[in-house]
């Protein structure tokens, strides 16, 4: 290609004819434009505002503004007893309430140092993994919508509805469950619940394949995501990324494996990371692939849990729940692998009160989103949509 | 550390990491608190915090490349504010350690570590937003969750909410 000396011409508009570059216009006036994306915008997945400084189609800087959904979670926690925090945790990541409750429950249990009945652990893992699939289905479905594929969204929500039905059957609520309590569960699962879950697993396996044929192998979808928003592994770690985002950058890190809690060490599942054959490691497609692969692993975990589940005979889901939760003075940082990454709770107890002195939620979305400024630099506006979608934010968790 | 108490592997690893830092910085950091739930040490000389942070990130036997969490805390009894950082050597050495840094309650300042871990940038903004300590050397220290013209620091223990915000009644 012939190099063209455009020095002194100002901004130019050029076209290429075979091997030569032809100048169509020169001395074009350009200026940077501020483009506010959100807070009400379908592709920001909630009330997030991105103030973009654009030069034509290229984003020179995108500054996220948060806090539109700030509900003082941490202040609320300081004013209620330990068990009463559980419903608030549902409202952090409202697409994965079970996982958030799970993270909070194991943190307080670590502080209390209590033993949990085995059947409780199995039920917790089953509902958490079901919720993980439901959450990934929303992530994948809405990501499709962001990039112009409407049908996968309907497929995802159809299957998610079955999971929500199952969880509603167990807990009484569709999204905000208040099911996993500190020390136990609100109720044992209904009779036949496991049978229905097994039916769902068998039903969902082929549907997951269908979904991946429809979306992951779709050429338009791949072209919109392949090589976009690449995040190298070391920068991702420095940014505190976790979960599918970090694994998308090729780091094999899953808290269920690397900092195991509950009964995960007994279960056999893989931690999928992109191999670079289908995607550029660290790009939007990698992150999408990790989520798609993870659903299969969750199905495997659920199946194993159903097989290994101890019987319900003489089982009381509330037997290990302390009458009054008043941990000894101390601090704890507990965490669990949520669909969006590491959800951690820092809890401080003074040993006297039944309320936490300080309860901080380390939100995975908040941390993942903090890399937005670097990720979006120099990208095109349509690619920005692809990047936000691949981060898979839930503003309830970002703003808390 | 109590005699005869069984110390878990995790605490032993943290203690080993602590002793390397202690060797280098001596009295600038406090003794190691070997509790089971969150082993930590405190930075006594807060002005050295950025230097300690860099040492923790780059020393070949420490390699704390991952800041899991940064929590702001209010200590009204001591007249202090503080931060608690949870570190981990992710996918390298797999040990964990928590660090506490404190500053004065009114007009206190802590050196920023946003230049050491990118993730500290937003965490420190949140701590500033909620508690009001400043972070010296932070690239853009402004509120993140509350509106920029909000009065007071909501997570302080003695916080009183403002009556009116742009003509809107606030407390209900």
What pLDDT digit, counting tens, does each position of A303-328 carry? 999 998 888 788 887 888 888 888 88
Per DSSP, the three-state class of A81 is: coil
Q: Chain B residue with minimal CA distance to A76? A: B155
What pLDDT digit, counting tens, does each position of A145-187 carry? 888 888 889 999 999 999 999 999 988 888 899 999 988 898 8
pLDDT tier at B4 (50, 70, 90 boundaries)? very low
pLDDT > 90 in chain B, percent: 20
Tell me what the mean pLDDT of segment A21-38 comes to.
79
Contact B55, B116 (CB under 8 A): no
Q: Decide if B118 touches A, using CB distance below 8 A.
A: yes
**What pLDDT is attached to residue A5?**
63
Phi, psi of A201 (to 5 degrees): -60, -45
Nearest CA to A159 among A187, A140, A146?
A140
Inter-chain contacts counted by CB atoms under 8 A, chains A and B: 90
What pLDDT digit, counting tens, does each position of A344-355 carry? 999 998 888 888
Q: Decide if B14 touches A, using CB distance below 8 A.
A: no
User: Inter-chain contact A331–B68, Cβ cutoff 8 Å?
Assistant: no
What pLDDT digit, counting tens, does each position of B37-88 carry? 888 888 888 888 998 999 988 888 888 989 988 999 999 888 889 999 999 8
pLDDT over 50 (residue B133): yes
User: Inter-chain contact A237–B65, Cβ cutoff 8 Å?
Assistant: yes
What pLDDT digit, counting tens, does each position of A223-271 carry? 888 888 888 998 999 998 998 999 999 898 888 888 888 889 888 899 9
Q: How far apart are CA A98 and CA A131, in angstroms?
A: 6
Tell me what the mean pLDDT of segment A70-74 comes to.
89
Q: Decide if A372 touches B, using CB distance below 8 A.
A: no
Q: How far apart are CA B141 and CA B144, in angstroms?
A: 9
Top pLDDT among B24 and A21 is at B24
Q: Decide if B98 touches A, using CB distance below 8 A.
A: yes
What pLDDT digit, counting tens, does each position of A94-148 carry? 898 899 999 999 999 888 888 888 889 999 999 999 999 999 999 999 998 888 8
ipTM: 0.88
Nearest CA to A286 among A247, A333, A232?
A247
Nearest CA to A320 among A83, A148, A155, A141?
A83
**What pLDDT is attached to residue B22?**
86
Q: How far is A360 from chain B (nearest CA, A)?
A: 7
Q: Chain B residue with minimal CA distance to A242? A: B68
Q: How far apart are CA A165 and CA A141, in angstroms?
A: 18
pLDDT tier at A57 (50, 70, 90 boundaries)? confident
**What pLDDT is attached to residue B2?**
44
**Nearest neighbour of A67 by CB, restricted to B35, B94, B144:** B144
Q: How far from A96 is each of A47, A363, B25, CA to CA, in Å?
A: 18, 13, 43
User: Inter-chain contact A110–B37, Cβ cutoff 8 Å?
Assistant: yes
For A233-252, letters b (16+ CB in 10 Å) and e give bebbbbbbbbbbbbbbbbbe
pLDDT over 50 (residue B31): yes
How far is C-alpha A391 from the chain's CA centre?
8
User: Inter-chain contact A333–B119, Cβ cutoff 8 Å?
Assistant: no
Number of other CB atoms surrounding residue B108 within 10 Å: 17
pLDDT over 90 (residue B10): no
Per DSSP, the three-state class of A13 is: strand
Query: What residue ranges in chain A does DSSP mark as E strands?
Result: 11-17, 20-28, 33-37, 49-55, 58-65, 180-181, 184-185, 330-338, 341-349, 358-362
Q: Decide if B119 touches A, using CB distance below 8 A.
A: yes
Residues of A in contact with B154 (CB under 8 A): 72, 75
Q: Chain A residue with minimal CA distance to B71? A: A360
Tell me what the mean pLDDT of segment A38-46 comes to.
77
């Amino acid at each position: 290609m012939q190099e063209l000396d455009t020095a002194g011409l100002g901004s130019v508009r050029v076209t290429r004819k075979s091997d030569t570059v032809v100048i169509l216009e020169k001395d074009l006036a350009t200026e940077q434009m501020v483009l506010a994306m959100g807070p009400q915008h379908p592709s920001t997945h909630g009330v997030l505002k991105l103030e973009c400084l654009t030069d034509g189609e290229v984003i020179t800087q995108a500054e996220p503004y948060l806090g539109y959904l700030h509900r003082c979670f941490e202040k609320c926690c300081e004013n209620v007893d330990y068990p009463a925090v559980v419903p608030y945790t549902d409202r952090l990541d409202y697409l994965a309430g079970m996982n958030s409750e799970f993270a909070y429950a194991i943190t307080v249990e670590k502080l209390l140092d209590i033993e949990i009945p085995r059947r409780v652990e199995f039920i917790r893992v089953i509902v958490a993994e079901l919720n993980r699939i439901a959450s990934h289905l929303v992530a994948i479905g809405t990501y499709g919508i962001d990039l112009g594929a409407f049908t996968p969204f309907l497929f995802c929500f159809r299957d998610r509805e079955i999971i929500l039905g199952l969880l509603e059957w167990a807990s009484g609520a569709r999204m905000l469950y208040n099911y996993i309590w500190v020390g136990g569960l609100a109720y044992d699962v209904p009779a036949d619940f496991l049978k229905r879950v097994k039916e769902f697993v068998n039903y969902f396996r082929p549907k997951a394949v269908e979904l991946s044929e429809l979306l992951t192998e779709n050429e338009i979808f791949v072209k919109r995501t392949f090589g976009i928003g690449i995040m190298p592994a070391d920068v991702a770690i420095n940014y505190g990324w976790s979960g599918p985002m970090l694994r998308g950058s090729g780091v094999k890190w899953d808290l269920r494996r690397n900092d195991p809690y509950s009964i995960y060490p007994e279960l056999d599942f893989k931690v999928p990371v992109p191999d670079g054959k289908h995607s550029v490691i660290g790009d939007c497609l990698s992150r999408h692939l990790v989520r798609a692969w993870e659903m299969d692993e969750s199905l495997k975990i659920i199946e194993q849990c159903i097989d290994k589940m101890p019987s319900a005979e003489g089982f009381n889901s509330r037997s290990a729940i302390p009458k009054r939760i008043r941990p000894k003075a101390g601090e704890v940082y507990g965490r669990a692998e949520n669909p969006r990454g590491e959800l951690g709770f820092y809890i401080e107890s003074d040993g006297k009160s039944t309320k936490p002195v300080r309860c901080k939620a380390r939100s995975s979305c908040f941390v993942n989103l903090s890399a937005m400024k670097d990720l979006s630099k120099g990208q095109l506006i349509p690619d920005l949509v692809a990047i936000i979608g691949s981060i898979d934010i839930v503003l309830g968790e970002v703003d808390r | 550390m109590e005699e005869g108490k069984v110390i878990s592997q995790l605490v032993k690893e943290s203690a080993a990491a602590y002793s390397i830092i202690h060797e280098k910085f001596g009295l600038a950091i406090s003794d190691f608190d070997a509790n089971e739930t969150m082993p930590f040490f405190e930075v006594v000389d807060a002005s050295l915090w950025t230097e300690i942070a860099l040492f923790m990130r780059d020393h070949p036997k420490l390699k704390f490349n991952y800041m899991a969490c940064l929590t702001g805390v209010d200590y009204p009894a001591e007249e202090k504010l503080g931060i608690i950082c949870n570190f981990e050597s992710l996918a390298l050495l797999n040990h964990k350690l928590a660090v506490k840094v404190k500053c004065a309650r009114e007009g206190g300042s802590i050196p920023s570590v946003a230049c050491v871990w990118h993730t500290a940038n937003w965490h420190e903004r949140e701590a500033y937003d909620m508690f009001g300590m400043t972070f010296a050397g932070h690239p853009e220290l402004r509120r993140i969750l509350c509106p920029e013209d909000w009065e007071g620091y909501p997570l302080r223990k003695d916080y009183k909410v403002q009556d009116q915000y742009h003509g809107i009644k606030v407390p209900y």
